[in-house]
Structure 1
């Protein structure tokens, strides 16, 4: 996440022509007998500022909306912002009567087909999904909201379900971080799942730990590298960072509270490179809950 709050309003149609037109919802959420139908007005706000993969929605970003506790009601209704401007369109959702409140869940990014629950999505946080183009595929968001006919605004406040890790390298005495060509994280599981019904993202219990190697160039002292998005997980051994700088290899262990990466937390490390060692400190930025760490590393 960056440092600017965004509020996204989703435009919803006011009338569904017929029950057949509302392909993802049945008449439990539509007015078929009494009174004029009232369409839900859906707003969406990301409570932890913006997505780690960018500062705004992008063209054709989509969310999936489902009703909770409604038998065969709205399921995985797709809303799309065609122009990436935060104005979403999709199949309109109606309330049946003024007495009943309906709770909805929503997730990002949309998957599957309207009318069929997206279920549990499996994915990987390996380097190919850490690019700016692919990170939105693993930047899972989830929210719930309740509304009714008298108060039809459905205000989703999304929260991050993944963990984020950011590295900042700094020049030490007689050293230049501009020579860093790769960095590697060791000791993390890359394979995991996201439950679109509950919002839970977690690394697969039976997955093996893997090395995550990211190529980089033009590293600027004191400037953060693009953040990594990772599955929440327990670290069973240790989390190790190694870098290549000027043909030399450096490594250090990164400490994490309770040996676990938690959802919605931003783990940021500021690392000073010297000829003899890496000196690891931490920095905190809101709104992610930032872990603070310290440590040292020696040249290999």
Structure 2
């Protein structure tokens, strides 16, 4: 799914006379103060600490012109939601941002959590201390351009820039209690520089043992960690310790942690690791883009080795990018450059499908129109040595025509699969539902597999929107 994002509405407030301390616009040219209110996109939690802002949460805001932060008019101004209700105001008169009186256009960049000192536009990230995760959950927005006193309404779209990992740890054979459990990520980088001008995170540094935040439940313990994104965790280990007993989990070599995504695992600790059930935790999508990542049974260390059995893995996923298109932008499959997964190739032999948003759906998605046959073809997915495949995706209809889901064809390496029959009524247009299609009978599994979503002009009278494609299998 999409990196879940907070939507902030910048609005003009009453005229003020205090200086905003910005150049080159003079004090006499300043007329209107900027305030911020907030909503949560798609009613999805986006804050590390929960579904809502907390009292006195603070963001840092830059008002500028030009590219990056080359011409800053208001630098690192602190805005606070005093009641935690999402309504942000300047923390003091000296922090207040004002629109230029001449009506000239300005842009905004914002981040959370606020830091008093920002040097050379660099936000220093440090995830070594996990005890207060809301203090290390970096959010960033830079999408608002061309705002001015005459059109102040603007939506700042905030996205997570770090990764989150959640482990639900249960006691298995030979483990009587999880009391006192500690969970440590060994060898992960703890610091990095985030460039507020470009929105990029530099390579991590200072590897160290990162102790996850643990919360004991009735039958399991939740271990949470916010980590720096990493392309390959090959050889990385997670250590579980109860008293004098140690259990070590070596992460699968294919594991990657991407910015804005939450990875969920079920972990069972026992004295001797047995065969794992390939079960992925189910539940509501919560505050990040959720990537359920499997179940593992971890045996007690005899020589600090630990063992890991293969389970269900995510083989491919696509959410069509974290930067939303405007409602007027539409890109054919061959022309779109904002794919979140760039390890595969995308095509539409009919040149009918496109990537777009719509007035009520702010996330990018693929549109399969009613005007002809269309497809989204994805080639280059590695399914070699895997089994029991299944593909899930979000789907919605776009017009006032009913549509039976079984008329959507899922083609995998030449085999056609169809969702179970389910009528989507016209009254539910533009409302996504999640669908899973069983591909376990696929006969061809290769390192260059092809997955297609095909729409036939004879049966597609409504227009189809598809988003958040995830292919999973045992491997």
TM range (shorter): 0.7 to 0.9
Secondary structure in 2 matching 1:224: strand
Choose which of 137, 140, 145 in structure 2 pairs with 1:139.
137
Q: Where in structure 2 are the equivalents of 1:81-160 lying within 5 Å?
A: 81-90=81-90, 91-98=96-103, 100-112=104-116, 119-126=121-128, 129-132=129-132, 135-144=133-142, 145-146=144-145, 147-160=147-160
Is contact 2:61-2:110 (8 Å) kept? yes
Q: Deviations over 1:231-285 (max 9, x none)?
A: 112346422122123632211222364x432110111111123331285864365
Q: Where in structure 2 are the equivalents of 1:204-243 lying within 5 Å?
A: 204=204, 207-214=205-212, 216=214, 218-222=216-220, 224-225=222-223, 227-235=224-232, 237-243=234-240
Identify if the C-alpha distance between structure 1 residues 170 and 297 changes in structure 2 by more than 3 Å, giving closer, same or farther.
closer
Secondary structure in 2 matching 1:150: coil
**Residue matched to 2:16:** 16
| Cα offset, 1:55, TM superposition | 3.5
Unaligned runs of 5+ in 1: none
Counterpart CA distance in 1 for 2:183 and 2:289 is 23
Higher normalized contact order (CA 8 Å, seq sep 6+, divided by chain length): 1
| Cα offset, 1:161, TM superposition | 0.7
| Cα offset, 1:176, TM superposition | 3.9
| Cα offset, 1:17, TM superposition | 0.8
Structure whose CA Rg is larger: 2
**Residue matched to 2:257:** 261
Choose which of 58, 62, 70 in structure 2 pairs with 1:66.
62
Please, what TM-score do these two structures have when normalized by structure 1? Answer: 0.76
Please, what TM-score do these two structures have when normalized by structure 2? Answer: 0.51
Is contact 2:234-2:252 (8 Å) kept? no
- 1:275 equivalent to 2:277? Answer no
Counterpart CA distance in 1 for 2:242 and 2:72 is 57
Counterpart CA distance in 2 for 1:218 and 1:38 is 50
**Residue matched to 2:422:** none
Unaligned runs of 5+ in 2: 91-95, 302-475
Counterpart CA distance in 2 for 1:217 and 1:53 is 13
Identify if the C-alpha distance between structure 1 residues 142 and 39 changes in structure 2 by more than 3 Å, giving closer, same or farther.
same
Is contact 1:201-1:263 (8 Å) kept? no
